Amino acid sequence: MRTKLLSLTGVALLCVAGNALALDQSGQRYTTMLASGGPGTISSAAQDIFNTGMKDPEVLDVAAQVLVDIGPKTLLSRDFADAAAWLCKALGISGNARYRPVLETVVKSDINRKTRSHCDKSADMLPKNGGDAFVPGSVNVDSYKDGGKGKPATAASTKPAAAAKAAPASGKPVDLSLVKEGMSQQEVDDLLPAPTAQTTHMTGKQFQPFNFGARDLQRLKYLYKGVGHIEFSMKSGYNGIFRVIAVVPDPNETGYP
């Protein structure tokens, strides 16, 4: 009888341990957003992690890997720079020393200056010692897409993705490699099919009194679902012509503003 009770107790403990290791509903949502979204979705997930003080190491590991992956893109896109800054803040608020080395590495890499500042401050919030340091490349972010449960990274999953190409409803492929910085909006329209969506916004230069050339008054963005986005700047308010300032391949681009 005693042996049977011990066996049942052991099974119960294993079940409790298994449940403790599983992601809760919020964790599942955050990892899916981090893995499946474009920069806007990543930013939203990181803000939620920061605001809720999420400390689940599995969620934070995914956030750390996404931060490493998008770091270079912060030089090309303000949206990626914002997303990376929020990821740093989410890791910094965790209080987990495991993420200090990765934040310090990101700070030393070639990233957006504003993002570097946020990451540097976040790193200073974490203890210098304690626990195993997060190892970049140890998380297979793709395995969390569409509600996936996640699995260890493999050699194949850590290789850089090839330039994104996808065929929209028109059947014409979207090849962002054809687009070069400085091209006009009309040139891009002639090269590529219509974007999934597009957005425009004013810049702070609208209100600068000494911007005599009326430069960079507005930004325009073409979003291509599953491919990436193109960002344009109105080089002069006097001619109204938008020209490419950034081309960002991103297979996780949702195509929605």
Evaluate if residue 170 carries a pLDDT over 60: no
H-helix or E-strand containing 243?
strand 242-249
244: Cβ contacts below 8 Å, ≥ 6 apart: 179, 180, 181, 182, 183, 184, 188, 230, 231, 232
Indicate whether 44 pLDDT > 80: yes
| Structure confidence at residue 40 (pLDDT) | 82
Distance CA 27, CA 151 (A): 15
Under the banding of pLDDT at 50, 70 and 90, the label for residue 155 is: very low
- Which residues, at least 6 apart from 243, have a Cβ–Cβ distance to it below 8 Å? 182, 183, 184, 185, 232, 233, 235
188-197, pLDDT tens digit by residue? 998 999 999 9
Specify the pTM: 0.56
d(CA 255, CA 87): 21
Assess whether pLDDT exceeds 60 at residue 152: no
Summarize the confidence of residues 71-78 as an average pLDDT: 84
Q: Percentage of residues in the chain with pLDDT exceeding 90?
A: 39
Q: How far apart are CA 45 and CA 90, in angstroms?
A: 9
C-beta pairs of 208-216 under 8 Å, 24+ apart in sequence: 213/238, 214/238
Q: Is the pLDDT of residue 230 over 90?
A: yes
Percent of the chain with pLDDT over 70: 75
Q: Given this model, what pLDDT does residue 193 score?
A: 93
- What is the per-residue pLDDT for 7? 47
In whole numbers, what is the pLDDT of the chain averaged over residues? 80
For residue 109, the number of C-alpha atoms closer than 13 Å in the C-beta half-sphere is: 19
Q: Does the pLDDT at position 148 exceed 80?
A: no
Provide the pLDDT for residue 231.
92
pLDDT at residue 234, rounded to an integer? 84
Average pLDDT for 28-53: 86
With bands split at pLDDT 50, 70 and 90, how would you rate the model's confidence at 217?
Answer: confident
pLDDT at 54 over 90: no
Give pLDDT tens digits for 2-24: 544 444 444 444 343 343 356 78
pLDDT at site 157: 43
pLDDT at residue 57 tops 80: yes
- Condensed to tens digits (0 to 9), the pLDDT of residues 239-256 reads 678 889 889 999 989 998
pLDDT for 4: 47
If you average pLDDT over residues 145-164, what whole number do you get? 54
